[in-house]
A and B are shown apart, each in its own frame.
Chain A
Amino acid sequence: MTTLESPRQLPPIVPFDTRPASAFASRWWIYALLTVGLLAMMGPFLWMLLGSLKTQRELLQVPPTWLPENPTTANYTRLFDRLDFPRYFWNSTLIAVMITLSNLVFCSMMGYALAKLRFFGRDKLLLLVLGTMLIPGSVTLVPLFVLMSKLGLVDNIFAVILPAAAGPVGVFLMRQFMLSIPDELLEAGRVDGASEFFLFRKVVIPLSAPALAALAILTFLPAWNALLWPLVVLTSEENFTLPVALAIFARGQFAADYGLLMAGAVVLVVPVIVLFLLLQRHFIQSQAMSGIKG
């Protein structure tokens, strides 16, 4: 487990380096390579944005145009007027927000119990939770579907929310963080007669803000991007999330309608990119803290 914990802390980014300017000049080739790499990594996103503003005719033109000749928002208009994208956007938001909130509550409570309370069966519970972390999602796919049909939840957004409402990764993250909260602080409160719930609300939660931020990102991201399970369990169009709708359009009637699909992709990606740019440090740290891919 030590290897899982090792990459936890990122040193702060130093905005201005103190190394001499000559070092900058002698390393021009590193910058050249990094820039080529950056182009390969970010180019597709730029191409997506530009493509979403072009007409179908311009998209299929050879040689291609770089900037749109006649920039048009027609693709976006089609998404929001003729197709039901506002609905998908709302579904995606609702699902991702509910999953994030429930994870914040459930995982922090469980993390607190595992880190700071002593109760019967605690260590076995911890092992059980950790033991499930390597199990592939495809193992639970079939029984979950059987369970949801029995519960009558197929084609209901709660079928997407409930299984993601709390996860072992979040518990592990919260527990690891809460272990660092000094016991003396809690003991002092207990001596003064504070209940565990009070201590949790007024002491532990405020102190755990960085871990909660990481957990929020870590659960929102996969919830927003989730494809497989929503695709299996949501069957009618009015319940689709953005990724499900876009994936189905991309394989069906709109398969060659690149402009429409790229506009859809922009709508799907922009909220994440905005969040990412706002919370950049938290994002990267959250991934490093959990050690599990989002």
Chain B
Amino acid sequence: MSESATGADQVVPPRTTWLRLRPHVTGWMFALPFVVVFAVFLAIPIVASFVLSFTNFGIANIQDWFSADVIGIDNYTQLFDDEKFLKAARNTAVFVLFGVPLTIVLGLVAAVGVNQALGRVVALFRVGYYLPVVTSIVAIAVVWRYLLAPETGLINLALDVVGIPGPNWLGQRSTALGSIVALGVWRNLGFDMVIFLAALQGINPTLYEAARVDGANAWHIFRRITVPLLRPAILFLTVITTAGYLQLFEEPFVMTGGGPLDSTLSVSMYVYQQGFSFLNLGYASAVAYALFVAIIVLAAIQFRLLRSDDTA
């Protein structure tokens, strides 16, 4: 180390370089805490999962990661012969196909209704419809299982009064998945309602006035003014509701455990089963990636379809 002032001048970078670097250092200092958490617990696991999906990684490899064998795309080809996976995929598709339109339509109906209401009750309706969205699925499952119980459940007792014998909703294959769809819709429609309410309140009321002056009835106004103006909200909700519903896990997990006879098994539940019950961690990763691809593809298709309607 040189003690002389001239020597130090040569070691320390010129002042201008430091001035040039400083904003970058500051920026990264602000970014660093997030970047570390993001990298270690999200980005690296995402890549690791992709790598795992091409191996036969099992519980035996958990301490020595590199002892697993690379088996190429075998995990992915196996998906097409795996009847349990195909069943889970079909169940998930049914949940999305019925659940998404029902949630959006009922959310829209609720929003239009609440938007028409006057006075303080509006707040009550908003809170009430939104309550299931913020509630733990475990708590919801406890009360809904009691409501749907075959003999003592309130729903079947009500059906009894009108003379309809209520089924064992969650216990038989014909009604279990339908019950899960209904529960999903009940739980999520408040979210869609809130988004629609915000969009509805952004519509200029003079448009309605003008239409009414022109003699349009309520249905026409709804169909020709409200719905077209809500298109961005509809697109947004379709994409994120579909992405969310494709990841169906909690409802069947707590209500039925995937049964009876896998009739409510979802793809995400199958990832969990393969990973943590059968300990096929490599195969579980392949299932998860297949789901990821489905989510991206569907989101892209929805963007295309709903966007192009704008210009039509």
Write the residues of chain A forming the contact surface with B, with a CB cutoff of 8 angstroms.
Answer: 2-4, 6-7, 9-11, 13, 15-17, 19, 23-24, 27, 30-31, 33-34, 37-38, 40-42, 44-45, 47-48, 51, 59-64, 102, 105-107, 109-110, 112-114, 117-120, 122, 125, 128-129, 132, 134-147, 149-150, 162-163, 165-168, 171, 196, 200, 221, 224-225, 227-228, 232, 242-243, 246-247, 250-251, 258, 261-262, 264-266, 268-269, 272-273, 276-277, 280, 283-284, 287-288, 291-294
Contact = CB atoms under 8 A, between A and B. Distances in A.
A48 B157 contact: no
Most chain A beta-carbon contacts within 10 A, residue among B49, B62, B123, B151:
B49
Contacts, number: 328
A7 B236 contact: yes
Interface stretch (B4-12, B70-78, B170-178, B241-249): B241-249
Main secondary structure of the interface of A (DSSP, over half): helix
Most chain B beta-carbon contacts within 10 A, residue among A7, A107, A268:
A7
Interface residues of B, number: 109
Contacts of A61: 152
B102 interface: no
Given A44-B147, A113-B27, A122-B27, A59 B127 contact: no
Contacts of B124: 38
5 contacts: A63-B157, A141-B271, A141-B288, A143-B45, A225-B136
Sorted nearest first, the 8 A-B pairs with minimum C-beta distance are: A119-B27, A110-B34, A265-B139, A113-B30, A143-B45, A143-B48, A163-B41, A140-B45
B146 A291 contact: no
B281 interface: yes
Contacts of B122: 13
B138 interface: yes
Contact of B191 (A168, A227, A228, A287): A287
A262 B27 contact: no
A34 to B, nearest CB: 5
A40 B292 CA distance: 34
A294 B135 CA distance: 10
A6 B232 contact: yes
A118 B27 contact: yes
Interface in B216-232: 232
B187 to A, nearest CB: 10
Interface stretch (B79-87, B93-101, B109-117, B207-215): B109-117
B19 to A, nearest CB: 13
A143 B52 contact: yes
A62 B116 CA distance: 40
A291 B236 contact: yes
Given A102-B37, A134-B299, 19 more contacts: A3-B236, A16-B119, A19-B118, A24-B119, A31-B121, A41-B186, A110-B35, A118-B27, A136-B247, A136-B288, A139-B289, A143-B49, A145-B281, A147-B48, A162-B40, A273-B135, A276-B127, A276-B134, A283-B130
A269 B136 contact: yes
A163 B42 contact: yes
A59 B268 contact: no
A243 B233 contact: no
